[in-house]
Structure formats: C-alpha cells, structure tokens
C-alpha cells in the first residue's frame, strides 16, 4: 500500500501517539549475514536480548512517541532532508559494543566505507527535524546496526574476545537510496517495525515496499 494511505489513517483526531524512528533499511543478504553472526554470538552470550534479523537497520534519528497531528511536520522535514541528498554506498563491517566490549550494554556492527556520507545524511535529518521542533540528540551521531542489548551488563571475557576477533569482519555493502520513517510496535516478545513512508535521496517520494 502506498505510504500516503497508511499515514493518513494514523493522523485521525484522537488517535494515540505512535513510536517513530528514521532509518535505513538493510537488504536481505546483509540481514542474513548479520543474523548468522548473531547466532554465532548467541552461543557465547545467551543472556543478551538479540535483535531478530528482520528488524536489523541503521537508525538515523529516534523520535519516540509522536502525536499523530505532528506526522505532517515529520513528513515535511524528511522531504526537506532528502531533497538534495545524494545516493551513496556504505559497508557494514566490524563488531563492537557500547560503552565498551569489556562490559557491553549494546552490541553492534559498525560502518566502514561510507561512514562520512552516512553521518552527513544523519545531520540533514537531525537539522530538518530540529527545525520542526524535535529535540536534538545529546550525543554525536555514530552510525551502527544494533545487534543486541544486555539485560544486565557485566564483564564477559569470551564475548569481548569474540567481538575483538570480528573487528574487521565484513557483512556486506548497502546502496543507500532512500530514508524510511518507521513505526515501532512494542510487544512482550519484542518490537515489530512497520515502514510508514519512504523518501528517495534526491527528492522523490516512494511507495512502501521491502528493499530485500
């Protein structure tokens, strides 16, 4: 279904807030490679809450709960942010953790080639949404793909060693051609994501479909 039809339904008066983020969706081969890596790490760290492969993405901006009457402003901001942006390639490579592999809270796959172009795109999104009244991020942007989150962060030498051993592992190349507005549906078994709208870099509005 075209994005316009979906977003129109969400903008009804009295509707509850929607939990939103702006992201780059990943093609299926890259999600599969990262999913295989997650399965390898799962055997070392079963207490980590691992992200399902279908949910893997690169976040550009997290918006949180947004009132439906602000959706038009979000759409306009993302149209502005993407209008003069150029397409580029990025490479998903390397593993790491925030705040540090020695005591990980968030485990991630990093960005190699294309990280500067990615940061520039994230900056465009940040500026456009800031002008629309959304609070700026407190920390500088660091592009990554979240793979898992520790339920109770603790030192794990085996996991730290596995992350170090994969510091240069490559998971695939991504052609960045569009930016997606995603809705997060929270459930006891984990989040489910729905793409509400997408904008092609260079200013074209796109229908919603699966890039994989």
Is 57 a catalytic site residue?
Answer: yes
E strands present in 100-189: 106-111, 144-150, 170-176, 178-185
Q: What is the CB neighbour count within 10 angstroms for residue 135?
A: 9
Distance, CA of 49 to CA of 162 (rounded, Å)? 17
Reported as half-sphere exposure (CB side, CA atoms, 13 A), residue 80 has a value of: 16
Task: Kindly give the pairing relationship between strand 170-176 and strand 88-98.
Answer: antiparallel
Is 115 a catalytic site residue?
Answer: no
Active site residue: 57, 75, 115, 187, which one?
57
Active site residue: 75, 115, 144, 185, which one?
144
Q: What is the CB neighbour count within 10 angstroms for residue 113?
A: 15
Indicate which residues carry an active-site annotation: 57, 144
């Amino acid at each position: 279904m075209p994005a316009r039809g979906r977003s129109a339904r969400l903008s009804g008066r009295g509707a509850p807030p929607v939990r939103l983020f702006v992201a780059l969706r990943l093609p299926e081969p890259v999600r599969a490679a990262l999913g295989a890596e997650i399965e390898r790490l799962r055997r070392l760290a079963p207490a980590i809450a691992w992200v399902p492969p279908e949910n893997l993405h690169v976040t550009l901006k997290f918006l949180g709960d947004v009132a439906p009457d602000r959706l038009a402003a979000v759409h306009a901001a993302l149209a502005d942010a993407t209008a003069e942006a150029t397409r580029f390639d990025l490479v998903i490579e390397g593993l790491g953790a925030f705040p540090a592999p020695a005591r990980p809270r968030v485990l991630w796959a990093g960005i190699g080639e294309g990280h500067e172009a990615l940061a520039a795109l994230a900056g465009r999104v940040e500026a456009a949404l800031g002008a629309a009244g959304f609070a700026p991020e407190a920390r500088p942007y660091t592009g990554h793909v979240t793979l898992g989150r520790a339920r109770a962060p603790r030192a794990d030498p085996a996991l730290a060693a596995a992350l170090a051993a994969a510091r240069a592992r490559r998971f695939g190349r991504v052609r960045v051609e569009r930016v997606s507005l995603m809705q997060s549906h929270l459930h006891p078994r984990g989040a489910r994501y729905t793409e509400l709208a997408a904008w092609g870099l260079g200013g074209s509005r796109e229908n919603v479909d699966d890039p994989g």
